[in-house]
Amino acid sequence: MRAVLLAGAAGVGLMSAGPARGNISDGPISDGSLSNLPPTFSQGQVPTRPAPDPPAGANNGNNRAATARSGTVQAPTPGTVVIHINGRVLTELNGTWSSLGSGSFPAVTANGATLAPAGRFKLQPASVTTYARIYTGLDAMAANGMRYGGAIEIRQNFTGQTSSATSTGASGYSSSQTVFVRRAFAYVAADTAGILRAGQGDGLIGLYDSGVTTFQFLPSMNLQSGDMQQAMPMNSLVPFAFLSGSGNEYANAKLVYLSPQVAGVDVGVQWAPNTANGFGNGAGTTYGSVPGCPYASSGCPSLSSSSVGGDGARVMNQTAVGARYQGKAGPVGVMAYGVYEFSGHATYTGPAVAVGSSAQRGSSNGTGRFDGLSFGSAGVALSYAGVTVGGNWIGGAVNGQAAPRPTGGANLQGWLIGVSYKTGPLTMGGSFESIDSQGAPQLVGISQRHEIGVDVGASYVVAPGLVGWIEYLYEQRHQGGFNFASGSASTNAGAYNEVRGQGIQLGTTVFW
């Protein structure tokens, strides 16, 4: 046994990246610790170059793109697998101001008794924000050349904080944070057949755009529900209707097929039965003859008809078809895509409310009836000498961020334009968005929603794996008869029917 231990100790010494700092004694370590063992600096460490784009996006480009856009993800060879474990930590200093940063709240009453008095509040504009993400996965190639693999994205979750004498501490708040799975998909591919992805991952819009025509050039994601927006009150946030990189576009379980690229063109198709994960069917209690889902419950992912108000907004059989071109026109780089997306919806069997009637004000259901998705999305970006200009458009029967349009409501029309410039480690630019939609379903035939946003900023690669940036954001939302403070239709048309928010951010991200 002693010989085995000495041989093992010699092996540990050889693995050490530095000189041995002490020898293992012939006898047992007196304090029972391993403090006398030589340090193994190289154990579990691999010198590498950080990937600017998370490897969770590997194989997104088209069937021939075996690596991410950055080209820093190792491609497997026949009979091998490549395992990647990457992550990033962002820290930001924000100064944000909005129409919802101060105000009053009504008294809380029950059975004629006042449980909490009316009062006022004000938010502190300064905040320090931080979040962590972990990207793991595998890319492999069989001996016959078939490629396969999968990817997982894990994120940090956040909660609010309760004000009391015993629960305002940082320790209690941090322990309430959780982690959750944002993406989880597998794929198989062949150069002559294309790539098929299955699971919780990006659809055609996100895969085709990849933030290029929507100008998401900062680590904070610019107008795409960016970090600074999340530091503001939620109802002052303009939902990113253009969908690229949005959770409402990629977080449901789906099938996505991308064809091989021919002359710079590839086509694709996607399908999802609903906006959830099928395992949710078994998450509830079984009642009566409805196995796996609570009886008459809105919490069942596979619900296809219901008399519960709001269930008519459930999207079913979400399908998209599209095409993309990547190439050059002389010295100018060109990227353009177009996608048409459509769906069915759950059947609402409950009572209706007359469209456009005063009875809708204050209702939580509107008519209770919605139309299936039917909209187009297109983008184009032109690049020359480090300058990229372009824009994105989305329009049709859709409301906000991939939500179905209420029956009788207005179509969505949204457009975004932007410009960016990259030279060496420096990237700078800006973008502007304008979105018109129905907005609140309760206000069909009464009013529509108009939203705008502008974002400018610059980032600098300080060193491998370290980026810093500065950003300014302004957003504005308006809908007559809708109270953005309470998030409901209101008979008081002057109460928070227009809100504004703005802010400035200094941020850093460390990635590996």
Q: pLDDT at position 88, please?
A: 92
Domain boundaries, the chain: 2-30+56-275+314-511
Domain 2-30+56-275+314-511 has CATH 3.40.50.2000: no
Phi-psi map region of 194: left, alpha, beta (phi>0 left; psi -120 to 50 alpha): left
- The pairing of beta strand 119-122 with beta strand 374-384: unpaired
* pLDDT by 10s per residue, the chain, length 512: 444 333 433 333 333 333 333 333 344 444 555 556 666 566 667 777 777 766 665 554 444 444 334 455 677 889 998 888 889 999 999 999 999 888 777 777 777 777 677 788 888 899 999 999 999 888 888 999 888 889 999 998 887 666 555 555 777 677 778 899 999 999 998 888 889 999 999 999 999 998 999 999 999 889 998 788 888 888 888 999 999 999 999 999 999 999 988 899 999 999 999 988 888 776 654 444 445 565 556 677 788 887 776 778 889 999 999 999 999 999 999 999 999 999 999 888 877 655 444 444 334 445 668 999 999 999 999 999 999 999 999 999 999 999 999 999 999 999 999 999 999 999 999 999 999 999 998 898 889 999 999 999 999 999 999 999 999 999 999 999 998 988 888 766 668 899 999 999 999 999 98
Half-sphere exposure at residue 114, Cβ-oriented, CA atoms within 13 angstroms: 6
Distances (CA, A) of 177 to 95, 134, 380, 458, 461: 23, 15, 39, 30, 30
Q: pLDDT at position 112, please?
A: 75
Classified as helix, coil or strand, 470 is: strand
Classified as helix, coil or strand, 441 is: helix
Which structure tokens are listed for 270? 């996607």
Q: pLDDT at position 491, please?
A: 61
Distances (CA, A) of 294 to 291, 305, 440: 8, 14, 28
* Residue 15 contacts residue 42 (beta carbons within 8 Å): yes
Q: pLDDT at position 468, please?
A: 97
DSSP characters over 455-467: EEEEEEEEETTEE
Q: Is the dihedral of CA 174, 178, 182, 185 positive or negative?
A: positive
Radius of gyration of the chain (CA): 27
Cβ neighbours of 43 (radius 10 Å): 10
The pTM of this model reads 0.84
Q: pLDDT at position 177, please?
A: 82
Which amino acid is it at 490?
A: S
Q: pLDDT at position 223, please?
A: 93
- The pairing of beta strand 102-105 with beta strand 119-122: antiparallel
CA 447 from chain center: how many Å?
30
Q: pLDDT at position 351, please?
A: 74
User: What is the C-alpha to C-alpha distance for residues 62 and 267, in angstroms, rounded to an integer?
Assistant: 9
Distances (CA, A) of 354 to 139, 365, 367, 479: 55, 11, 7, 20
User: What is the C-alpha to C-alpha distance for residues 122 and 103, in angstroms, rounded to an integer?
Assistant: 7
User: What is the C-alpha to C-alpha distance for residues 302 and 280, in angstroms, rounded to an integer?
Assistant: 8
Cβ neighbours of 220 (radius 10 Å): 25
Q: pLDDT at position 128, please?
A: 93
